[in-house]
Structure formats: structure tokens, C-alpha cells
Amino acid sequence: MRSAPNDRSKVRLVCFPYAGTGASIFQSWPSWLPRDVDMCAIQLPGREMRFREQPHTSYMPIVEETARALESYLDQPLVLFGYSLGAILAYELAHYLRQAFQTNVTRLIVAARVAPQIIEHRDPFFHTLPDGPFLEQVAKLGGMPQAILQNEELMSFLLPVLRADFQINEMYHYEVRPPLTCDMTVLRGAADPLMTYDQVAQWQDETTGQFCLRTLPGGHFFMHETQKLFTQLIQRDLQKAVRSTI
């Protein structure tokens, strides 16, 4: 877990990256976050400074490991953010914190992921494909530069991480539980080929708190395609979270 400490913080923001990436995708965030927000970017096994570790192939070890790391951070309201695969990790962490620590998060912000109760049918699953076809599917998503995909040495390190992350996402099993009570914001790309509006809108069933669904220009990686608008929306939600603590 990488943190940007802030003694004046009133809210802690915990961020999960999308598949195949690490905490560094959030390295610019402290420069535009509200001053009352302290950010923790989750570094998953198998990438960046944890590249020697074996990546997990199921979500629960990640959730349990993250919860243990956050235990001393539960003194302030939590906002969880997750992008694509990270959305499921953030969602499951919110449930785990409620069950294990009797802690309800203040807000859940999820992006670029269908609602957890939606079963995605792929035959075969992407993570089971041979290397060539698997990387073709990764390339179609548009989140990884061709220069990296064509670098055989680099891909020898990244491929196990990508496969593990896709396996987590594709083998995810939804569990019926009482809905969360936090406010929830869901973000989607208007041209995202992986999901429909209705599939994303069903996130609303997962909380009794205030719900907001926003559609941004761009595809699956609108986080980068419409960066200014994206950051403005995140800032707005975080400001709301800070005001709720006053």
C-alpha cells in the first residue's frame, strides 16, 4: 500500500488499479486531490515494487490482505475507488470491512465495470487463451501501449499478472448479501464495448445510500481519454465526502 500522508485529512481514499497495472497509475492524484483527503494506492502482488511476488488469482486474498493493511487507517471515514477489476476489489473490500471490522465506508466510487451480479459469458474465458490470442484481446481493450505489448522481455513479466487479473475478473462469484449503506458513484465510458448502460446501472441495487451514474466520453479507459472531466468528477465526490464529516 502506497500512501500520501496528510495530517489535515478528514477522509481517506483507497484506490485499486485496473488489470495488469500497479499503484503508479495514481501517482499524479495527490496533486489534484482536495487537501482534506489522504490517498492510499493499493499495490497488488506481482507488479512494480512487488514484482517478485506471485500474483493472486482470486479476489479474497487481496481483500483480506488489504483489510489487514488498512486496519490502522480506520480512524477516519473511508472512500473506496476501483477501476474495472479494481471496482470488484473495492466493492468486496467494502463488504469485508463491514463484516470483519463493523466499519461502513463513506462512499464507493467504481468505474468501467458491470454490476457485480451480472455474469459475463465468454467462451472461452480470455485468461485461458494461448499467449497470442490472449494478448490480442488485451490489445483490443486499448489500455496498454503497443510498444509494451510488442516488447517480449517486458511481456514475459507482465503476462502472468495480466492472466491472473483476468482470471479474478472472469471467475468472480457474486454473493447475495444485504446492500451496502454508503453513497455510490458509478462511472462508465459511452463507447465501452464491454458493457451496456443497463448492466452498469444495476450497481444501484448494491446500496441503500445515494446513487449516481455518470457516462463519460470514451471507451473502456475513459479515465485517461477524458482525464480532465474524470478528475473533476472524482474531486466533486471527494468534496461531498469531506463535507459529510463536518
pLDDT of residue 1: 57
How many Å apart are CA 102 and CA 21, to the nearest integer?
30
124: preceding bond cis by omega (within 30 degrees): yes
Confirm whether pTM is higher than 0.85. yes
47-58 exposure pattern, b = at least 16 Cβ within 10 A, e = fewer: beeeeeeebbee
Give the number of other CB atoms < 10 A from CB of residue 224.
12
Q: Which residues contact 128 (CB under 8 A, 6 or more apart)?
A: none
pLDDT of residue 236: 96
Amino acid identity of residue 26, one-letter, is F
pLDDT of residue 139: 79
pLDDT of residue 184: 98
The domains located in the chain, with CATH, are 2-120+175-243 (3.40.50.1820)
pLDDT of residue 2: 53
> What is the per-residue pLDDT across 231-240, written as a single tens digit (0 to 9) for each?
999 999 999 9
Q: Name the nearest CA neighbour of 51 among 161, 150, 165, 168.
A: 161
How many Å apart are CA 125 and CA 109, to the nearest integer?
27
Spans in the chain with pLDDT lower than 50: 4-7
Residue 201 exposed, middle or buried by CB count within 10 Å (0-12, 13-18, 19+): middle
Expressed in angstroms, the distance from the first to the final Cα of the chain is 27
Catalytic pick among 3, 24, 58, 84: 84
pLDDT of residue 143: 67
84 part of the active site: yes
pLDDT of residue 140: 78
| Alpha-helix residue ranges (DSSP H) falling in 18-125 | 59-70, 85-101
3-state secondary structure of 9: coil
